[in-house]
Amino acid sequence: MKIKEGFIKRKVVGKWVVVPTEKLSKQYNGIIELNDTANEIWEGIEKGLSAEEIATAIVEDFEVSYENALQDIHQMIEKMVKEGIIEE
């Protein structure tokens, strides 16, 4: 799985945002704001990590159980697939 080409992630005024560019800007109206956890999930997907590998990294960086981290990751990935942000 990978993030569809055409999304740019930047830190703006201390917040992570994702902006669709070019053709995608017509399909996706607005920007996506990511909290720190969502940003780490996004970066893990960009690196080609599995959900389990991302969960391990999140557990190291945040006070959350592995099970909760993995559940949140699966939910975010499911939503990103549904929205067409992730390509298989």
pTM: 0.88
| Residue 54, both tokens | 């991302």
Q: Model confidence over 36-52: pLDDT tens digits?
A: 999 999 999 999 999 99
Burial class (CB in 10 A: 0-12, 13-18, 19+), 35: exposed
- Domains contained in the chain, number: 1
Question: Mean of the per-residue pLDDT values for the chain?
Answer: 92
Q: Which residues of the chain carry a pLDDT beneath 50?
A: none
Residue 60, domain CATH: 1.10.10
Print the domain residue range for 16: 2-87
